[in-house]
A and B are shown apart, each in its own frame.
Chain A
Amino acid sequence: MALCAGATAAELAAALDGLGPIAAHEELRAPEPGLVMVRGRMGGDGRPFNLGEATVTRAVVRLATGETGFAYQLGRDRDKARRAALLDALAQIRPAAVSAALAPIRNRIEAERDVARRRTAATRVNFFTLQRGEDT
């Protein structure tokens, strides 16, 4: 589910294409945009408080074989939520195939995170001690 949240709608379409003909399914809940309240904690670790809302889209599909797939993800992209819910359902009957279909997304996200980490690391300050007064 975290992978699908970080994917684009086009990436999820490609993953579904890679899975071949899709089993018959119905939309139990058509993709619906809404809000969630985001919370923080006082001081980072104290009592919760409401920080502000975020847009979220949810969808539920059911395969003809009975498996139900859910999607809850940030943003307002209905197609992406529908595809994510379908992938969630398919993962219950074909876990290895779905995992393989999502591998390019996993690799893309990990590569981007790695570059971001490396760029951030290059801005880390290395302090060095100047000659101290008493040594002169």
Chain B
Amino acid sequence: MYVAVKGGEQAIDNAHRLLAAKRRGDPALPDLDVAQIDGQLALAVARVMAEGSLYDRSLAALAIKQARGDLIEAIFLVRAFRTTLPRFGACEPVDTGAMAVERRVSATFKDLPGGQVLGPTFDYTHRLIDFALAAGFAPPPPAEAEPEADGAMPRVTDLLGEEDLIERETADDRPPADLTREPLSFPAERDIRLQNLARGDEGFLLGLGYSTQRGFGRTHPFVGEVRFGAVELDFVPEELGFPVPLGTIEVTECQMVNQFAGSAERPPQFTRGYGLVFGQSERKAMSMALVDRALRAREFGEDVVAPAQDEEFVLSHSDNVQATGFVEHLKLPHYVDFQAELELVRRLRAEHAAREADGRPHYEEAAE
């Protein structure tokens, strides 16, 4: 019997009022300002922009406040917000070679044009809790030095490219497919895969990238380069017909250099994996580059044996908004489904008990 029920409206309203009070916290303490979140929790803001797939610092900061610091909830809010706005069009592809670099390191070349620039990094810190931060001490002003006259920082892959030691990308300008407009289908081309990975969950991609290092689809990676900084966005509005500078956004780029592919026609060459994400997030950019390379297995004739090489597995499970929706929906009322299961298990138990009483064996049925 199916009985439709409704109720709980008052409880839901009151739950949300309680949530708002909990979010505010102790009223004796100052309210958290969105600009403070943007400035002081900048890497959380970066993650929400990257996985929310929307570059807007103050919006992401507000979403973090609204979500009480639950970043996946904040990402969900940002994804919902973007559906309310019209799309004016697509920008010209960003030129990461012209980036105003704040950080750039290479694990493959010590001396490269532009040098190794550490920028604001947790690397080489001792990971000791700094109690001075709790005491509110102001940090010393950052050191300054004269920048190089020629500030050019060519991409590492261009250096290897000169000797043809590394595969070259082909820059044909077909408009890329867009998974916000077309549902995912398989096999997926690399443009779709990269879009999916760029908005994919950092933890999921980190785990997959790590699995390739541990032997599940090994690709022998080196970090050719990681760079972080600001790039210009140019957009050609239809009514103007020429590029308009929209402003700058910060991105992190990772060029992963992997072991060789070659053939009877072509001498061995390094292969490549690529990561590009909004904001400062090396962990995400590096994981993305590892998984991008693993997903190119088919292209290089490698056996698809590991989860990170299986594009359907990776692309279908990388989106944390989809994942959390499906996992968390389990806590919503399933009274009717569960009632059906209860009826079934009661009937099975009754049949079992009847067989026991008759002294009949029941393994025959169990073997079916």
Contact = CB atoms under 8 A, between A and B. Distances in A.
Does A associate with B in a complex?
yes
B204 to A, nearest CB: 17
A113 B91 CA distance: 24
A44 interface: yes
A53 B110 CA distance: 35
B276 A55 contact: no
Contacts of B240: 70
A73 B244 CA distance: 9
A130 interface: no
A126 to B, nearest CB: 8
A46 B272 CA distance: 12
B246 A36 contact: yes
Contact of A53 (B87, B102, B116, B192): B87
A46 B195 CA distance: 14
A49 B190 contact: yes
Given A125-B116, A127-B110, A50 B90 contact: yes
A35 interface: yes
Contacts of B49: 52
Contacts of A125: 115-118
Interface in A29-55: 32-55
Interface in B60-91: 82, 85-91
Interface stretch (B10-18, B130-138, B167-175, B335-343): B167-175
Contacts, number: 225
A5 interface: yes
B190 A53 contact: no
Contacts of A131: none
A47 B191 contact: yes
A35 B87 contact: yes
Contact of B119 (A33, A58, A123, A127): A123
B199 to A, nearest CB: 6
A18 B90 CA distance: 35
B91 A36 contact: yes
Most chain A beta-carbon neighbours within 10 Å: one of B89, B118, B143, B247: B247
Given A37-B178, A124-B145, 15 more contacts: A38-B55, A40-B96, A41-B96, A48-B174, A48-B175, A49-B192, A49-B198, A51-B276, A52-B53, A74-B247, A75-B56, A76-B58, A120-B102, A123-B117, A125-B117
Interface of A: 1-2, 5-6, 32-56, 58, 70, 72-76, 113, 115-125, 127
20 contacts: A38-B249, A39-B90, A39-B94, A44-B274, A46-B169, A47-B174, A48-B173, A48-B174, A49-B176, A49-B190, A50-B180, A50-B191, A55-B55, A72-B244, A73-B247, A118-B145, A120-B117, A121-B117, A122-B142, A123-B103
